[in-house]
Amino acid sequence: MESCEGPPRSAQGLMSSVGASWLRAPYPAMVVDTAGTVVEANARAAALFPGAVRGARLADAAPDWLVRGHRSTGPGAARRAGPAGPVRGRHGTRTLEAHPTPGEGGHTVWWLVDDTDRSQAQAALRSEQERTAFLADASSRLLASLNTERCMEVTVGMAAEHLADAAVLVAPGAGRRHPLAVAAGGTVTHRTARIDPSAVPGLAEALQGFPPVPSRWIDPAALPDWAVPEALTGPVGSVAVTPLPGHGVPAGALILLRRGDHAAFDASEEVFARIFAARAGIALSAARLYTEQSGITATLMAELLPPALRQVHGVEYAGGYRASKETERVGGDFYDVHPGAGPDDETLAVLGDVCGKGLQAAVLTGKIRNTLQALLPLADDHGRLLCLLNGALLSSHHTRFATLVLASVRRSGGVTHLRLTSAGHPAPLILRQDGTVEEADTSGTLVGALPDLRSTTAHVDLQPGETCLLYTDGVTEARGGPLGDVMWGDERLRDTLAECADMPAEAVVEHIQLAAATWTGDHRQDDVAVMAITAPRTTHLTAVDGHTRGRYTA
């Protein structure tokens, strides 16, 4: 504690007003006059500022921030900027907050409070808030996409921007070839490389999901070339490797690199990097799982979608299909065409409707199509083929049933012969050259519901230009009209089909679909499948001047 011998009169007045207790105050306190000279300092102030003895200049004894704060407390300064408030600054390893109090004769009493703990707490709070905001931003950006490469880009980009100077993401690979995402200098690149994970300490373990190796155990000089991005300027000063944990299996590993002129990773930063890696690993794992499932779904869906139809052995085939929901590509309606071995062999066309909608109906559709493919050698007997299909569906675990119609088609000369058999399905319609529409005389019971199946087969001949239309009940039961509750019905279908005389098969299908869609408008409808089998026109006979309807070569 500094002695108080011989204080000036003003200080003596102050001392007399506060007494000896001022000297024993628990906080450092100094009295400084308007000229910036220390008038008095108590024991704690003397211990804090050893040079703050009576008569010393404040500028020689105290830090600059306190000197500047004292200058702002003068009478002139007060007039210019208003009453002076506390000032804060560092002194050694401490942070101090100095509160000025006016004394007698224009002196200022500086009360100093050690603010180190509060400053550290505030700094820690700001750091934690920044990390929380960073993790929230990372979660949003990582989960915004289910694309694997995009997730890798976001991961290394954010790591290089907030955690290090550069980042390399090593994804699990087949053999020694691993997909890599590299971020440095504001750019992200992708490549696949044949690497040896054991060349980077801790990387092989991280790729298996083991805890990370402390950064102090990794020698930056020993890194292989592929682990150091070309865009990273300057030598590598420190390296941290952390695993990316996924859903049950590791999603890869993240290598963080800092330049030599930057601080090395400390324990707190390594822990925070692992927290970030956990979020990135989950996002990468979800993206990879989604990609795998999308590939499986696309493969299965390709087998369930109706085929593209074309002319087979001189007969035109065209089909149109639309699932009940725009978000689904497959449903319970289907059609297929199985070409005969040669022009004299029958081609089997099938159009059916499985009870229900959605994925389960699509699965049963696939089963029926595969079973019919296996039963093709028996296609010359529709009744036997349908009985075998009925038995196959009854022996399965499905509780659904189906209706379908079979059409065996063979062209002979200018006439196309059809054998049509319905199994609980709407009878095919025959469009003649003159625009009349007939219904094929066939009927039967549905398949997959009853042990016994009955069916009758109709024999129909098509002249050139005539069409046989197969359709599912989604066409006639499509609801629309002014109130959206009236079915399109059989009569509207017949009238619309009558307008298709002289049209090729593809045009017939498009006309029927357009008319039905116009009727339903925006109202929800069932699955719709339509198939047209048309005996093609060839060349007009020159003997009848090439314009008379119905006169064509075979």
Q: What percent of the chain has pLDDT over 90?
A: 54
Residue 332, domain CATH: 3.60.40.10
160 contacts: CB under 8 Å, gap ≥ 6: 166, 167, 183, 184
Of 282, 299, 316, which residue is a domain's last?
Answer: 299
Query: What is the C-alpha to C-alpha distance for residues 494 and 498, in angstroms, rounded to an integer?
Result: 6
Query: What is the enclosing helix (H) or strand (E) of 204?
Result: helix 203-207
Does the pLDDT value for residue 269 go beyond 70? yes
Please state the domain count of the chain: 3
Of 260, 275, 299, which residue is a domain's last?
Answer: 299
Could you tell me if 244 and 273 lie in one domain?
A: yes
Whole-number pLDDT of residue 25: 78
Could you tell me if 152 and 48 lie in one domain?
A: no
List phi, psi (to 5°) of 196.
-115, 100
Could you tell me if 151 and 168 lie in one domain?
A: yes
Q: Do residues 25 and 6 make contact, with C-beta atoms less than 8 angstroms apart?
A: no
Whole-number pLDDT of residue 148: 92
Residue 96, domain CATH: 3.30.450.20
Could you tell me if 248 and 289 lie in one domain?
A: yes
Q: What percent of the chain has pLDDT over 70?
A: 90
Whole-number pLDDT of residue 395: 83
Whole-number pLDDT of residue 523: 73
Does the pLDDT value for residue 315 go beyond 70? yes
Q: How far is CA 17 from CA 104, 109, 418, in A?
A: 10, 13, 123
Does the pLDDT value for residue 362 go beyond 90? no
**Phi-psi region for residue 486, left (φ > 0), alpha (ψ -120 to 50) or beta?**
beta
Residues spanned by the domain of 29? 22-115
Whole-number pLDDT of residue 2: 38
Q: Which whole number is the average pLDDT over 350-366?
A: 84
Could you tell me if 388 and 254 lie in one domain?
A: no
Angle, helices 382-394/358-374, rounded to nearest 10 degrees: 130
Residue 63 lies in a domain: yes
Residue 15 lies in a domain: no
Residue 223 lies in a domain: yes
Q: Which whole number is the average pLDDT over 258-274?
A: 91
Residue 174 lies in a domain: yes
Classify each residue of 285-324 as buried b or exposed e, where b means 16 or more C-beta atoms within 10 Å of its C-beta. bbbbbeeeeeeeeeeeeeebebeebeebbbbbbbbbbbbb
Whole-number pLDDT of residue 253: 95
Residue 122 lies in a domain: no
Could you tell me if 330 and 382 lie in one domain?
A: yes
Does the pLDDT value for residue 550 go beyond 50? no
Residue 270, domain CATH: 3.30.450.40
Question: What is the tens place of the pLDDT at every residue in 504-533?
Answer: 999 999 999 999 988 888 776 778 899 999
Query: What is the C-alpha to C-alpha distance for residues 335 and 229, in angstroms, rounded to an integer?
Result: 55
Could you tell me if 438 and 479 lie in one domain?
A: yes
Whole-number pLDDT of residue 329: 66
Q: How far is CA 112 from CA 17, 73, 87, 116, 342, in A?
A: 20, 15, 9, 12, 105
Residue 1 lies in a domain: no
Could you tell me if 202 and 351 lie in one domain?
A: no
Angle, helices 116-142/267-304, rounded to nearest 10 degrees: 10
Q: Which whole number is the average pLDDT over 229-257?
A: 91
Does the pLDDT value for residue 12 go beyond 70? no
Could you tell me if 86 and 151 lie in one domain?
A: no
Burial of 413 (0-12, 13-18, 19+ CB in 10 A): exposed
Could you tell me if 209 and 104 lie in one domain?
A: no
Q: How far is CA 169 from CA 11, 179, 520, in A?
A: 69, 8, 53
Whole-number pLDDT of residue 363: 81
Q: Which whole number is the average pLDDT over 19-46?
A: 85
Question: What is the tens place of the pLDDT at every residue in 420-460?
Answer: 999 999 999 999 999 999 999 999 999 988 888 999 999 99
Q: Which whole number is the average pLDDT over 131-158?
A: 93
> Is residue 538 very low, low, confident or very high in pLDDT (cuts 50, 70, 90)?
low
Does the pLDDT value for residue 388 go beyond 80? yes
Residue 208 lies in a domain: yes
> Is residue 544 very low, low, confident or very high in pLDDT (cuts 50, 70, 90)?
very low
Question: What is the tens place of the pLDDT at every residue in 183-203?
Answer: 998 899 999 999 989 899 999
Residue 138 lies in a domain: no
Query: What is the enclosing helix (H) or strand (E) of 396?
Result: none
> Is residue 263 very low, low, confident or very high in pLDDT (cuts 50, 70, 90)?
confident
Could you tell me if 465 and 390 lie in one domain?
A: yes
Could you tell me if 109 and 152 lie in one domain?
A: no
